[in-house]
């Protein structure tokens, strides 16, 4: 007997199930098409290396992931990213790596001297960024792209060398299409409040200093890799509620409930259904139930990315690798977008005598590069690392992960698209969405989306909206 069906066993679906359980004893079935749980979270241990195929850490500013780790008893497994010099991000520009000037907050400087000293930005570029103080506020509230906003306030060089690769890179996005309102609203708020980002940033730095606020590490991960989180969640869920290796095919209305058809020929009847699947998958599942909702879900674009992890003997890498890694602006004409120095960024990622690097390929501006086979991806990554870091050695470990249509794009108009989807859902009581496509793609956002779906279901069931029936509310009706 199951009241709820959750489709998709990535972090969003697992978090939904866990939080549903935390709201009190619940009947649910979690369906996952792959034979393994965790979705894009996948950590592999090989020859002393810990390799992350998908996400490698989560941001600490949003607290849902840390809170969940603590609830799962993983507190002592949390590892922070290095701070100080160990957190330096480099930018590949003009044939060399430039450290991000100290005090640079994503796109705006908060410290004058390091900014003046950097050779990353030309003097006209620095002057233009300094003039930001005099740029008037935007006249309208219209959704503005990251590129449009940065060009308007800080100039083209700040966009091309800093904001584009750094902020666009987080979303694997084209900065010309990325909605600032849906991704970095803080910059819009700062413009509104202070009339200038530089003024706003300086103020927030001063306030923090005055309060002696010590910043936690910006990112955290788990000692054994992020999969520790999805594994710990699975261990907490009752085995009888979990069905891996089984795909949902479609959802229909049936006798006042929802019928979920599965690829093994069986169906489930449920009062609540959570779709924790990519939005284009959800669109296919609800296509016959509500074609308009399906069309709205399909309007969220996804792009492909790939990661290549390469392990080398430390003695064969001349570069000191002191920092978190580097990003590559698209204007530099290279074939990778970034590289994390994983073993420098986090402890426990490589054996003592080795280093581990993780190269990012693809995204909105070079999707086709990510769609090559694994051997070609490894070859490409090695060529690029040789050109940028001078590493000619043969790797002792090489692993490529392809992520076709894996990164949802928060394009201009995203907020309105999600509002339309939610309006459609309000006509389908009992259907819920969780996942990366709507209110943030990061691990903490996904966990939060699962928590919200679970709370909505618990509240509905408490109000009796789905109760009051004598027969089981979700049953296997075919097999
Ligand atoms: C390369 C890469 C690096 C990233 N790095 C970071 C990072 O460092 N930090 C961070 O916070 N975020 C990162 N992200 C984003 C983050 O990993 C994802 O947004 C998040 O893992 C998505 O989780 P999810 O559960 O919503 O979706 P998924 O993990 O995609 O899970 C959805 C699940 O649904 C299943 N499914 C699909 N169709 C069906 C069906 N018909 N029936 C049943 N099951 C189905 C799939 O098999 C899958 O397991 C990264 C993403 C990528 C691609």
Q: Please check whether residues 418 and 390 belong to one and the same domain.
A: no
What atom in ligand 1 is closest to the CA of residue 247? Answer: 42
> Does the beta carbon of 363 sit less than 6 angstroms from any atom of ligand 1?
no
Tell me the CA distances in angstroms from 267 to 253, 274, 302, one per residue in order.
12, 16, 29
* 365 lies in some domain: yes
Residue 60 CB–ligand 1 contact under 6 Å: no
pLDDT at 124: 97
CB 163 within 8 A of CB 192: no
Cβ of 220 less than 6 Å from ligand 1:
no
Question: At 451, phi and psi to the nearest 5?
Answer: -65, -40
User: Atom 25 in ligand 1: which residue has the minimum CA distance?
Assistant: 10
Angle between helices 291-298 and 279-286 (to 10 degrees): 160
Q: How far is the CA of 393 from the centre of ligand 1 (A)?
A: 33
The verdict on 285 and 351 lying in the same domain is: no
Q: What pLDDT is recorded for position 466?
A: 53
**Which CATH number belongs to the domain containing residue 130 in this structure?**
1.10.3110.10
Are 311 and 394 within one domain? yes
Residue 434 located in a structural domain = yes
How far, in Å, CA of 398 to CA of 53, rounded? 12
Determine how β-strand 108-109 pairs with β-strand 96-99: unpaired
Segments of the chain with pLDDT less than 70: 1-2, 211-214, 466-479
Residue 159 lies in a domain: yes
- Evaluated on CA atoms 248, 251, 445, 409, the torsion sign reads positive
Q: Is 435 in the pocket of ligand 1 (CB under 6 A)?
A: yes
Ligand 1 atom at minimum distance from 408 CA: 19
- Residue 2 is predicted with a pLDDT of 67
391 and 306, same domain (yes or no): yes
Are the C-beta atoms of 433 and 453 separated by less than 8 Å?
Answer: yes
For residues 387 and 326, is the Cβ–Cβ distance under 8 A?
A: no
Total-model pTM: 0.95
**Phi-psi category of residue 47: left, alpha or beta, with phi > 0 → left and psi -120 to 50 → alpha:** left
- Structural domain of 440: 4-39+230-300+411-478
Same-domain check for residues 205 and 287: no
- Please tell me the predicted confidence (pLDDT) of residue 347: 87
Decide if 361 contacts 337 (C-beta within 8 A): yes
Taking the alpha carbons at both ends of the chain, their separation in whole angstroms is 15
Q: Which residues of 369-407 are buried (b: 16+ CB within 10 A; e: fewer)?
A: bbbbeeeebbebbbebbeebbebebebbbbbbbbbeebb
Same structural domain, 267 and 242: yes
| 295 plus 437 within the same structural domain | yes
Q: Is residue 431 part of a domain?
A: yes
Query: Domain for residue 275, yes or no?
Result: yes
Which whole-number Å values give the CA distances from 70 to 10, 76, 95, 229, in the listed order?
19, 9, 44, 10
**58 CB near ligand 1 (under 6 Å):** yes
Residue to probe by mutation, ligand 1, list 40, 183, 452, most atoms within 8 Å of CB: 40
Give the position, in ligand 1's atom list, of the atom nearest the Cα of 449: 26
* Cα-to-centroid distance, 202 and ligand 1 (Å): 36
Question: Residue 300 and residue 62: Cα distance in Å, rounded?
Answer: 23
Which residue among 152, 181, 210 closes a domain?
Answer: 210
Q: Report the domain count for the chain.
A: 3
| Cα–ligand 1 centroid distance for 454 (angstroms) | 18
Mutate-to-test residue for ligand 1 from 34, 54, 267, 363, highest number of ligand atoms within 8 A of CB: 54
Task: Give residue 110's pLDDT.
Answer: 85
Kindly report the CATH number assigned to the domain that includes residue 331.
3.90.660.20
Q: Is 57 in the pocket of ligand 1 (CB under 6 A)?
A: yes
Q: How far is CA 335 from CA 82, 98, 173, 276, in A?
A: 27, 18, 15, 32
289 and 307 share one domain: no
CA 32 / ligand 1 centre spacing (Å): 12
Burial (Cβ within 10 Å: 0-12, 13-18, ≥19) of residue 170: middle
Per residue in 89-140, pLDDT (tens digit) is 999 999 999 999 988 888 888 888 888 999 999 999 999 999 999 999 998 8
**Structure confidence at residue 202 (pLDDT):** 85
Per-residue model confidence (pLDDT) at position 471: 37
Residue 378 CA to residue 308 CA, distance in Å, equals: 6
Residue reference for tokens 């998709």: 8
d(CA 461, CA 465): 6
- What's residue 212's pLDDT? 65
Query: What was the pLDDT predicted at 464?
Result: 80
- Give the Cα separation of 352 and 199 in Å (integer): 44
CA of 276 to the centre of ligand 1 (A): 9
CATH number at residue 463: 3.50.50.60
Ligand 1 centre from 39 Cα, in Å?
5
Query: In this structure, is residue 96 part of a structural domain?
Result: no
3-class SS string, the chain: CCCEEEECCEHHHHHHHHHHHHCCCCCEEEEECCCCCECCCCEEEECCEEEECCCCCEECCCCHHHHHHHHCCCHHHEEECCCHHHHCEEEEECCEEEECCCCEECCEECCHHHHHHCCCCCHHHHHHHHHHHHCCCCCCCCCCEHHHHHHHHHCHHHHHHHHHHHHHHHCCCCCCCEEHHHHCHHHHHHHHHHCCHHHHHHHHHHHHHHCCCCCCCCEEEECCCCHHHHHHHHHHCCHHHEEECCCEEEEEEECCEEEEEECCCCEEEECEEEECCCHHHHHHHHCCCCHHHHHHHHCCCEEEEEEEEEEEEHHHCCCCCCCCEEECCHHHCCCCCEEECHHHHCCCCCCCCEEEEEEEEECCCCHHHHCCCHHHHHHHHHHHHHHHHCCCCCCCEEEEEEEEEEEECCECCHHHHHHHHHHHHCCCCCEEECCCCCCCCCHHHHHHHHHHHHHHHHHHHHCCCCCCCCCCCCCEEEC
Among 182, 210, 238, the domain boundary falls at: 210
- 33 CB under 6 A from ligand 1? yes
> If you measure from the C-alpha of residue 209 to the centroid of ligand 1, how many angstroms do you get, rounded to a whole number?
37
Whole-number Å distance between alpha carbons of 170 and 413: 19
Same domain for 121 and 189: yes
319: in domain:
yes
- Tell the residue nearest (CA) to atom 10 of ligand 1: 442
Give me the pLDDT at residue 226, please. 97
Q: What residues contact 228, with CB distance under 8 A and at least 6 apart?
A: 43, 74, 77, 222
CA 446–ligand 1 middle distance (angstroms): 9
Whether 65 maps to a domain, the answer reads: no
Q: How far is the CA of 158 from the centre of ligand 1 (A)?
A: 31
């Amino acid at each position: 007997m199951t009241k709820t069906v959750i489709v998709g066993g990535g972090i969003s679906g697992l978090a939904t199930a866990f939080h549903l359980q935390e709201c009190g004893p619940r009947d649910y079935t979690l369906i996952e098409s792959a034979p393994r749980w965790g979705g894009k979270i996948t950590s592999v241990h090989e020859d002393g290396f810990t390799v992350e195929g998908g996400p490698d850490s989560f941001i600490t500013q949003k607290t849902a992931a840390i809170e969940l780790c603590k609830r799962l008893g993983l507190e002592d497994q949390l590892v922070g990213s290095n701070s100080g010099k160990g957190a330096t991000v480099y930018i590949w520009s003009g044939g060399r790596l430039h450290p991000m000037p100290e005090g640079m907050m994503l796109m705006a400087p908060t410290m004058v001297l390091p900014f003046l000293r950097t050779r990353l930005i030309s003097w006209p570029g620095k002057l233009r960024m300094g003039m930001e103080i005099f740029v008037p506020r935007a006249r309208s509230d219209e959704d503005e792209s990251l590129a449009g906003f940065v060009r308007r306030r800080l100039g083209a060089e700040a966009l091309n060398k800093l904001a584009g690769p750094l902020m666009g890179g987080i979303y694997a996005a084209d900065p010309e299409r990325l909605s600032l309102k849906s991704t970095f609203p803080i910059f819009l708020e700062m413009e509104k409040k202070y009339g200038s980002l530089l003024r706003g940033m300086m103020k927030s730095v001063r306030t923090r200093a005055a309060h002696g606020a010590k910043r936690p590490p910006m990112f955290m991960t788990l000692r054994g890799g992020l999969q520790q989180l999805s594994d710990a969640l699975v261990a907490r869920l009752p085995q009888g509620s979990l069905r891996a290796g089984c795909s949902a095919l479609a959802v229909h209305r049936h006798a006042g409930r929802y019928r979920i058809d599965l690829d093994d020929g069986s169906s489930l009847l449920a009062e609540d259904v959570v779709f924790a699947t990519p939005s284009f998958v959800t669109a296919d599942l609800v296509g016959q139930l509500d074609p308009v909702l399906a069309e709205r879900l399909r309007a969220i674009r996804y792009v492909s990315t790939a990661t290549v992890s390469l392990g080398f003997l430390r003695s064969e890498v001349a570069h000191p690798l002191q920092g978190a890694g580097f990003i590559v602006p698209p204007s530099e004409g290279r074939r990778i977008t970034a590289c994390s120095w994983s073993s420098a960024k986090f402890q426990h990622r490589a054996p003592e005598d080795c280093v581990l690097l993780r190269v990012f390929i693809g995204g909105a501006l070079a999707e086709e590069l990510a769609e090559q086979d694994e051997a070609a991806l490894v070859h490409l990554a090695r060529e690029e690392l040789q050109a940028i870091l001078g590493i000619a050695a043969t790797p002792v470990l090489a692993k490529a992960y392809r992520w076709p249509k894996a990164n949802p794009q928060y394009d201009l108009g995203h907020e309105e698209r999600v509002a339309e989807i939610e309006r459609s859902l309000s006509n389908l009581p009992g259907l819920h969405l969780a996942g990366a496509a709507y209110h943030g793609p990061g691990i903490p956002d996904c966990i939060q989306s699962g928590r919200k779906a679970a709370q909505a279901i618990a509240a509905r069931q408490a109000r009796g909206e789905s109760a009051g029936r004598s027969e089981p509310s979700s049953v296997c009706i075919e097999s």
